[in-house]
Structure 1
Amino acid sequence: MNRFLEVVRRDLRLALRQGSDSVMVVTFFVLTVVLFPFGIGPEVNVLERVSAGVLMVTALLASMLSLDRLFQADYEDGSLELLVLTPTPLGVVVAAKILAHWLTTGLPLMVAAPVLAVLLHMQPEGFATLLAAMALGTPILSLIGGIGAALVLGARRGGVLLSLLILPLYVPVLIFGVGAIDAAVQGMSAKPHLLILSGILVAALVLAPWASAAALRQALE
């Protein structure tokens, strides 16, 4: 547990010291959402109808921007090999790095989402469900993205490969996240959609760190 927290603190310090990834992710999220009213028009009914989809799709794309660097810096400076050789299971180390990634990218997206929902005229009934969907969905994006980042580690044009690998796996998060928000806005229960997202999150928490660890070992051989 101590090693887990050490890795989280280390990655958070590095992320806060550099700051570029978090700023880039949030800036992309905000600017892309702000552009939609200019592209599809200012009609309130139209913006309200597409608000859930716009927010979830944009958050999904924004979360991918820094994924290719999740393990890259450690790989380039050799510290990844040291992490593999430590007594702590590599899956635990990977889970810590993914948590740090979510805290610096997914959490800011979740905080920014309600503000942007106001811009898109989302009904107030959807705000709580939007936060719940983001709270469940963004960790899934980081966990699945960690597998992709490990698989393309050291590859040329890794960012392109990463997108091709993980975008299809992100589709369930998009479907059930948008479905939950739309259900809440329409006065129906969002619970089924959120329960499915919760199940996906539990499965990702159990499987993704170890799958990423196996891919990292393969990349280092």
Structure 2
Amino acid sequence: MIALLLRDLRLAVRAGGGFGLGLAFFLIVTVLVPFGVGPQSELLARIAPGILWLGALLACLLSLDRIFALEWEDGSLDLLATSPLPLEGIAAIKALAHWLTSALPLVAAAPALGLLLSLPQGGYLWLMVSLLAGTPALSVIGAFGAALTVGIKRGGLLLSLLVLPLYVPTLIFGAEVARRGAEGLNPITPLLLLAGITCGTIALLPFASAAVLRINLR
């Protein structure tokens, strides 16, 4: 399992489709928003939590189609499926590798980008907490979507259409945690709901991803 994780991390860095592309997209979204809505600090401060969460979500989408694509193209996915490793564990490791290379850098960059949107001082901590609690769900859901569309030519658009509706609850509660923190309100209730979504997806979706992969590999 550890060897598979390290292999995926190396491939993500060498292929150039991991954290670099996601960070660049996240930065572009954050920089363009003030041009679209105007330079009013009060307006930017009010919408900053939602914009930062939406930017992180869309940045995570960029590399979802690569989760199983390389293994499908070179045939190693068949070898992994017949190896002693459980397919559920392989799906979970793939999701973890995606989170480490695509989502975790966004979490680290979010406070710096929050400065561009005039995020209130009290919102930085809760923004990072909400992203840490919610982005693992984005990667696990994305791995499930990637398993559904593996082997489909140009399936990136289909993958986005399948995954985006499943992302909505995470987006709602994640942005609500950051918003309440920025406004000095109690964010514990949406944070617990966000953590519950993440724990539920981690517990269930690797099994669903493995089942879908078995069907696609037949």
With the length of structure 2 as denominator, give the TM-score of the two structures: 0.97
Matched, 1:118 2:115: yes
The one of 39, 45, 49 aligned to 2:36: 39
CA-to-aligned-CA distance 1:110-129 (integer Å, 9 cap, x gap): 01111011110011111111
What does 1:1-221 correspond to in 2, within 5 Å? 4-221=1-218
Distance 1:148 1:20 in 2: 18
**1:78 deviation in Å?**
0.5
Structure 1 residues not aligned, in runs of 5+: none
**1:36 deviation in Å?**
0.6
Distance 1:157 1:10 in 2: 24
Contact 2:23 2:105 in 1 (8 A): yes
Distance 2:120 2:167 in 1: 25
Contact 2:123 2:182 in 1 (8 A): yes
Distance 2:51 2:135 in 1: 15
Counterpart secondary structure, 1:122: coil
Distance 1:156 1:9 in 2: 27
Which amino acid is 1:123 matched to? Answer: P
Counterpart secondary structure, 1:58: helix
CA-to-aligned-CA distance 1:42-82 (integer Å, 9 cap, x gap): 11001001101100111111100010111000001000000
Structure 2 residues not aligned, in runs of 5+: none
Distance 1:168 1:25 in 2: 20
